[in-house]
Amino acid sequence: MSEESNPQVFPNLWADAVGPAGRGAARDFCACLAHGTGAQQPTAFHPEVQDTGAPGWIRLLELVEEAVADGREEFKPLAELTPEHRRQIITLPPTIARLTSVKHLVLYGSNLVRIPPEIGAMRSLEEFSPYTSYRLHWFPYEITRCAGLRSSTVSTRALYGNYKRRPPFPALPPVSAGLRGADLSDLDPGVRGATAIRTCSVCDGPVEGVNLRQVWISLRTSGADVLPLLVNACSTACVEALPVPAEGYVRTAHTGGPGLVQPPAGRMPR
């Protein structure tokens, strides 16, 4: 048999990141974004709330503490969970802020629907790999605080506003809508994208419900990927201090919704 007739074999770069096999499914199906040729319907945040009593969550907390204690530079917690336990993880704990030695965060094939803003405290982060996490459609603006982030591997077709399909961003509530005097530690994640908002994404100061301003912005956070970022700002001044969005995307911070005009789909931004 000639070399030309031999099929090319590609190595599995994520073989050690998928975790042990099992009978149960490791993640849920997501139909938020259309991948065919039909029209994309309006989108909304995933409303799931993390079950903090689930065995998978409790084990994840332990794995974070182990990583903090040994100062490891690569953290791939899902590889140490069963499929059943991986499915129970829909976000990461705020304690990831203590992973200040981690350079590579691997979340391959996760069931995550959101990343907490505490990722911004992972000051050594250089590589971020949530590849094939198809329910992860956006990221917190705080990831821009990871000044050393140079590489990411993200399934871009699953992202709001991706250039291939330009799916709409979820519509954000108007300023202070329903939040006058409200407790920002008990929010509906299906409306606000989080169960709690404690500090400003821009200045890191406290946020009062009446002053909360939420906007979207698309930025190139690493050498490869432009990510849709959710900003929780404490004032109009902090919104105005945001950087210029990436070329080829909506050129201002915005509040999303199906009426938002995006650049044409299918064009690779330069």
Of the chain, the percentage scoring pLDDT greater than 90 comes to 77
Q: What is the pLDDT of residue 1?
A: 43
In a domain, 144, yes or no: no
Per-residue pLDDT tens digits for 4-39: 555 554 445 555 666 666 677 889 999 999 776 667
Angstrom distance (rounded) from CA 243 to CA 142: 13
Closest CA to 152 of 207, 187, 103, 210: 103
pLDDT over 90 (residue 256): yes
Q: How many domains does the chain have?
A: 2
263 class by beta-carbon count within 10 Å (0-12 exposed, 13-18 middle, 19+ buried): middle
* Average pLDDT over every residue of 72-101: 97
- Domain co-membership, 181 together with 102: no
* Average pLDDT over every residue of 163-192: 85
In a domain, 268, yes or no: no
* Average pLDDT over every residue of 126-149: 97
Angstrom distance (rounded) from CA 61 to CA 92: 9
Q: Tell me, letter by letter, the H, E, C secondary structure of 94-113.
A: HHHHHCCCCCEEECCCCCCC
Q: What is the pLDDT of residue 194?
A: 97
* Phi, psi of 127, rounded to the nearest 5 degrees: -135, 135
Pair of tokens at residue 61: 């907390």
In a domain, 175, yes or no: yes
Q: Domain range for residue 178?
A: 169-259
In a domain, 213, yes or no: yes
Residues near 50 by Cβ (< 8 Å), separated by ≥ 6?
A: 57, 89, 90, 91, 195
CA 168 to centroid of chain Cα atoms: 16
In a domain, 191, yes or no: yes
Q: What is the pLDDT of residue 102?
A: 98
Distances (CA, A) of 124 to 121, 130, 174: 9, 17, 35
- Domain co-membership, 131 together with 175: no
Strands lying side by side in the sheet with 104-106 = 74-75, 104-106, 127-129, 151-152
In the predicted model, what is the mean pLDDT of the chain? Answer: 90
CB 63 within 8 A of CB 34: no
Angstrom distance (rounded) from CA 257 to CA 149: 30
In a domain, 26, yes or no: no
